[in-house]
Structures are given as C-alpha cells and as structure tokens.
Structure 1
Amino acid sequence: MTVRFLSRRSVSVVASAGVLALGLAGCGGTTKDSTEAAAGGAAASSASADPNAKIKKGLKIAFLPKQINNPYEKIVDDAGIAAAEEYSGEAKEVGPSDASASSQVSYINTLIQQRQDAILIAANDPNAVCGPLKQAMARGIKVVSYDSDTAKECRHLFINQASSEEIGRSQVRLLADLIGGKGEIAILSATANATNQNTWITYMRDELKKPEYSGMKLVKIAYGDDDDQKSFQQTQGLLQAYPNLKGIISPTTVGIAAAARYISGSQYKGKVVLTGLGTPNQMRKFVKDGTVQKFALWDPKNLGYLASYAAAALASGQITGAEGETFNAGRLGRRTIGKDGEVILGPPTVFDKNNIDQYDF
C-alpha cells in the first residue's frame, strides 16, 4: 500500500490577520463588570468570526484516487491535503497503482479499520466500491466522492468539477469548431467503467444528434485505462483503423497527453485534431508545437480544496449532505449542496497558445 503525506505548514499570515481583525472589531461591546469579561467577549467574537471555528479539530481524512501515480489526481489530492492544514485536520493519500474496478476496495477496508473521519474517493467504478463504502458509512465515517462519482447511495456528497452535461456538450462544440463540423471522430476514454467518463460521453453522444453536427460521425470509443502506454497505443490504433479520422476527444488527462505525444511525432500532426481535458503543464509543449490547438479543464487544485472542506463540514456535523445545505469552503466561500448531494466547482477553462502560460498546474 502506498501512502503519501504532506508536511504540516503554518496557517496563512493573511488569514490569521483577518481573523485577528475581526476579533478586535468585536471588542467594542464591553460590559461594566470587568476587563476579564471584556476579554472573554473578545475571544468569543474572534472565534465566531473564524470561518473554520465550527470544524472539529484533528479530523482524520483520506483521499483515495483512481490511481496513486495519476498526475492529475496528485494535484487534486495534494491541494486537499494542504486544505486540511487550514482547519487543523490530518489528511493523507492512499491508493492503488492501477485503475481497475476493484483496485480501491482493499484500501477502503483499511481506512475503515483506521477509523478515518472521512474518506474521499475518485471512483474507478460506481458500484464496485459500494459495499465497503456502505460499511464505512454504517460506522459513522463520512464518504465524499470527487472527480468520478460512486452510486448515490454509497456516499454523502459528490464534488463535481463542473456540470457533467456542460463538460460533455462543450467537448463536442470545441471539436466541431476545430474541424469545421465535418468528418469522422473518435473518443479516447479512460476505463470502461469510469463514472465521470461515461457520463460525459453520454452527453457527447446526445450533443452529436443535433442538426448542426450532422456532418460529424462518431466511429469509435477506445479505452486507454488511464495508462499512458495503453493510451498511446490506442491512439495509434485509432489512426491506423480510421484513415479518414478528423478529430479525437480525450476527456482524460492521461489519455490526451499520451495521444498528443503520439500525434506530435507522426504523419498525423496538423491533419488530425486532438482536444479533450488536460492540465496546462502536461499540454504546454504540444500546444506550442502545434499538435493541439485547444483543450479544457477546471483548476484541479480548487477541486481538491473544495472536497477537503466538504468532508470536514460533514465530519463536524455542520451538514448532512441534504439539498440546500451550505458550508464554508475556505477561500472558495460558502457552497450550496444541490440535488443528489452534488456540489459543483464551476465551469471549465479553455486553454490555447494565447493563455496557457498564465497557468501553472
């Protein structure tokens, strides 16, 4: 089992100064009893002004990504672990080296035995992890899915990076703009059971039914299993099997980087359009060498940060996961829980040669 910790850092000076200022502002209402009472009132005011005051101290939370060596998942989890320091929690990341459907089960069982306060999981399969997650919930452990959802009954909250419908439909719109709305296209996905991938693909298929996309034909959905080499080989296979292919959508950071690497050194560079979801640091060289014109993603650091605060609010009893409840998400402000326990981070950003150097993740 692989476990990764981040070292504890001091609380932000700016945040501390803000709390102190609010605390001092509350000192105006002193009583005639004594200066001791006044000091007590100031302390109480300061505590109430602290947005993290209601979060239980010393919470133990664990991030369980699809796979431990996935660059995107590492960014998400590192940000969530760092966020835990802000509310005096203890966070860690554990996980498998492969993204198979059942690979996360043993880790969940271990986290139950360790009596974690919350488990945050990016599910490789929506149902394969349900049994142990239900056991965790029965023992009072809060369960938050992020990035890739579990079945709804197996968690309290789902932290969604953006509207699933908007992600799926926008990927088709982006590719259509790049290929002029005509030609054969393919999708290079992660695993066949990945909840997020399949949800996005459902919306992609639906979007392609619209009249404005009548000139585009989806010929193949390939699966690289979020493995770099397999995704590389799947890209090669797609281009050889479909000589008239005009574009590929790869809604996975591992897949799009591997596909770009193959196309950049092949005869298809400049002829086949590649887009999808990737990180700026992964894709920068491929954008600058002309292999990829545009791709999209949200800020994964904010996703991990939001998930961490959501888990803390659950574990502290501030929320239950019901629609309409709100919670403090640190620098991201208050967030509202939507239908089926979903909390949406925000819309994705489209990256191209004009803005990619403005981002570092």
Structure 2
Amino acid sequence: MLNRTTILAGVAAFGCGAVPAIAQKSNEVVTVVKVTGENWFTRMEEGVRAYGEENEGVETRQVGPGRADAAQQSAMIQDLVAQNVDALAIVPMDPSALEGVLRRAMARGITVITHEADNLQNTQIDLEAFDNAEFGAHFAEQIAECMNHEGKWTSFVGSVGSLTHVQWADGGAAYMEQHDGIELVSPKNESFNDANQAYEAAREIIRSHPDIKGFQGGSAIDVIGIGRAIEEAGLEDETCVYGLGLPQDTGAYLETGAVDGIAFWDPKDAGYVMNILAEMALNGEEVTDGMDLGVPGYENVSVTDGPGEGVIVRGQAWVDVDASNYDEFPF
C-alpha cells in the first residue's frame, strides 16, 4: 500500500517558502460497519488502522453495532454527527435508512464516504469493489455449470435492505434466465449476517425442496450456515454452493465439498481505500477515472456519477477461491 505522501502527491503545497511550524489538527475519520465481531469487518478494521498508522495528519478508527441492525447503525452515526467528526466512511446495513442522517452530516460539513451503497444520494463518494451485477452473474455461472444447467437453486442475502447482496442475487437470477432447465425457488433468504440463521434457512429449504441443487450466498457468513446444513444432510456431492466468503472461515467446508467455491474482495483493502478517499475529499482532491489508488484491485478505478451529487468509484477487486487455494490467504 502507498502512504499518504504518495497518494496525495498532487496536492498543492500550502504557500511558498519557509513557514512557521504550526501544530496541525489531525482529521478524524471514523469507519462505521454493519456489525462488530464478524470476521469480515474485523479484517476491514486492519485496513482502517493501517491507514491511520501510515499517514500523519489523520486519526482513524472503526465502530459498529453489536448486531446487524439498520436502526442501531443509524443511531451510532447520529451520535458521530453530533460529535462533529471530520469524515465518516460507512458500510450501510440498509442504505435507504441512512439518507436523512447522511444529509444532515454533509450539511454540517462532514465528509461522507460509503461502501456497498451505489444507490445512496447523500454521499460524496461511494466505493464499490467491482460491478455488482457482474459479481452475482459470476456466482450463478459457476452454480449453473456445477448443476449441469438443470435443477433448482436458491439465493441468500444478509437482508433485503442490503443493497449489494440484493444486486448479486438479482445479477445471478438474470444470468440463470438463459437456462430453461434451471428453476429459482425461495429467492433472497435473509440471514441477517448470522451463520445460525443461514443454517436454519438452508435446512428449511432442503426440507421444502429435497431436490435442491444450487445455493448462492450473499452475506460473508451465508456459505458457512449453508455448508453446515449441507454436511448434516449428507448432500456434499449433490449440491453446488457458491457465494461471498472469507477463506479461513469457509476452508473446512471447502475441504469437504459442502461449499464448492467462494469469491471475495479483501475487506482490509476496502477499509484502507475508503480512508484514502476520505482524506482526498477532506483535502479537496478529486478522484478521477483511471486513477491508481495504490491498492491491489484499485489500480485503475472507474468513476461515474452517482444518483446524487457524488460519484461512484469502482475497482476490479474480486478473487476466486476453492479447496485448491484457500490456504494461500491468511484471513
């Protein structure tokens, strides 16, 4: 990763010649995630902390509610707005639930960066690791091939308010429409980012559709719950399970074949890049199409207009993992 001096090399110097040494106030950037304690966001916090440690003039920290709940997250953000922090970097549980509080934050001069929220109007920059419809179609393509292009399949999401999860499910469903022999049943099962809830939902689907073949996971822990249910039912050889996940979390299920494959973007890198974008915005720097942000998967970002006054920054950051390579990743 590049440090702030490299990333912000284009920022104009303040004045010319020697100036008296003046104590500069550090910018405070607070990253707010969907839930604290989930391994995905524990990994993201590594990137948040690394950015603060590697760059002078900015203080970084990460917070999140104790459970994946949009109302709790909104209340936490309201408190940070009242504290008048310099910038917020937010991974919304439900983007639509945050429009009001983020509008107030920006009205107070707080910089707002978001992630996994390309429908938000009240954000200055939304960061996406890739095109979300393509990501969902990628899972569906793998599932379809594994199913020999026939049979029943289903999809999971953290919640129907979790925008990217829904986009992946919809992208998968759109891809599957080309296969007449494939049937979508019980779409968008909600796990609320809880492996036990994903497990219970998968068990119910197996009971209701004993001939089910395909599962697409949305939340990073969905494949864990689905894999557990598949193992208990002894269906490792009859099912095809693909979805978002972390290698070390899902490794045991990849080994047994209860989960066939996962893909992810490194949340550490996403946390780091959100803080790069926050400091760029605070310094009046513009992120431009094709810019190299100095982080793997974000070396040639695309920049498009968002639904509001802000922009959407997209990388090319997903990684495919299966039983053959999951142990190459330390998280």
**If the TM-score is normalised by the length of the shorter chain, which range does it land in?**
0.7 to 0.9
Pick one of 79, 83, 98 that aligns with 1:114. 83
- 1:103 pairs with 68, 72, 78, which one? 72
Q: Following the alignment from structure 2 to structure 1, what is the Cα–Cα distance between the partners of residues 166 and 44?
A: 21
Q: Which amino acid aligns with 1:349?
A: V
Cα displacement (A) at 1:233: 0.7
Offset from partner CA, 1:169-219 (integer Å, 9 cap, x none): 111101011111110001121112111111122222211222xx2211101
Q: Evaluate the alpha carbon distance shift between residue 182 and residue 307 of structure 1 in structure 2; reply closer, same or farther with a 3 A threshold.
A: same
Query: In the TM superposition, what is the alpha-carbon distance from 1:334 to its structure 2 partner?
Result: 6.8
Q: Aligned letter for 2:251?
A: R
Cα distance in structure 2, aligned partners of 1:240 and 1:261: 15
**Change over 3 Å in CA distance of 1:218–1:92 after alignment to 2:** same
Q: 1:142 corresponds to which residue?
A: 111
Cα 1:119–1:272 change in 2 (3 A) is: same
Question: Where has structure 1 moved over 3 Å in runs of 4 or more?
Answer: 49-57, 323-336
Q: Does 1:186 align with 2:154?
A: yes
Tell whether the 8 Å contact from 1:134 to 1:154 is kept in structure 2 after alignment: yes
Matched with 1:129 is: 98
Matched, 1:304 2:268: no
Aligned partner of 2:126 in structure 1 is 158
Partner deviation per Cα, 1:259-316 (whole Å, 9 max, x = no partner): 1122223322322221111011111111112222222112222211211101110112
CA–CA separation in structure 1 for the residues paired with 2:156 and 2:174 = 17
Alpha-carbon distance in 1 for matches of 2:25, 2:256 = 49
The 1:209–1:168 alpha-carbon spacing in structure 2 relative to 1, beyond 3 Å, is: same
In structure 1, what is the Cα distance between the partners aligned to 2:239 and 2:292?
45
- With over 3 angstroms needed to count, the CA separation of the structure-2 counterparts of 1:177 and 1:325, relative to structure 1, is closer
Residue pair 1:310, 1:327 contacting (<8 A) in 2 also: no
1:28-67 to 2 correspondence within 5 Å?
A: 50-52=6-8, 54=11, 58-67=26-35
Q: Residues of 2 paired with 1:288 and 1:234: CA distance?
A: 23
> Aligned-pair distance for 1:347?
4.1
Question: CA 1:140/1:329 → structure 2, altered by over 3 Å: closer, same or farther?
Answer: farther
In the TM superposition, what whole-angstrom CA distance separates every residue of 1:102-134 from its partner, at most 9, and x where no partner exists? 221111111112221111111111211111111
Root mean square deviation of aligned Cα = 2.4
Residue in 2 aligned with 1:200?
A: 168
Q: How far 1:333 sits from its partner (Å)?
A: 5.0
Equivalent in the alignment of 2:240? 273
Larger radius of gyration: 1
Q: Distance in 2 between matches of 1:265 and 1:244?
A: 15
Q: State the Cα distance separating 1:343 from its structure 2 match.
A: 1.4
Q: Check conservation: 1:298, 1:349, Cα contact below 8 A.
A: yes
Unmatched runs of 5 consecutive residues or more in structure 1: 1-11, 17-46
What is the letter of the counterpart of residue 95 of structure 1? G
Cα distance in 2 for residues equivalent to 1:333 and 1:312: 18
Give identity over the alignment, percent.
21
Partner of 1:263: 230
Q: Secondary structure at the match of 1:130?
A: helix
The alignment covers a number of residue pairs equal to 312
* Matched residue type, 2:107: A
String of CA shifts for 1:306-334, please: whole Å, max 9, x gaps. 11101110112112x6x649574467657
Contact 1:294 1:352 in 2 (8 A): yes
Give me the whole-angstrom Cα distance separating, in 2, the residues matched to 1:117 and 1:330. Answer: 23
Counterparts of 1:62 and 1:91, CA distance in 2:
6
**Residues 329 and 335 in structure 1, CA contact (< 8 A), matched pair in contact too:** no
Offset from partner CA, 1:30-82 (integer Å, 9 cap, x none): xxxxxxxxxxxxxxxxx9x7444649972211111111122112212321221
Give the secondary-structure state (helix, strand or coil) at the position aligned to 2:152.
strand
Quote the Cα distance in structure 2 between the aligned partners of 1:286 and 1:300: 21
User: Which secondary structure does the structure 1 equivalent of 2:72 belong to?
Assistant: coil
Would the aligned equivalents of 2:30 and 2:63 in 1 still touch at CA under 8 Å? yes
SS state at 2:97 partner: coil
Q: 1:130 touches 1:151 (CA, 8 Å); kept in 2?
A: no
Answer yes or no: is the 8 Å Cα contact 1:72–1:300 preserved in 2.
yes
Q: In the alignment, is residue 77 of structure 1 matched against residue 52 of structure 2?
A: no
Letter of the 1:220 counterpart? S
Q: What does residue 329 of structure 2 align with?
A: 359
CA distance in 2, matches of 1:142, 1:240: 48
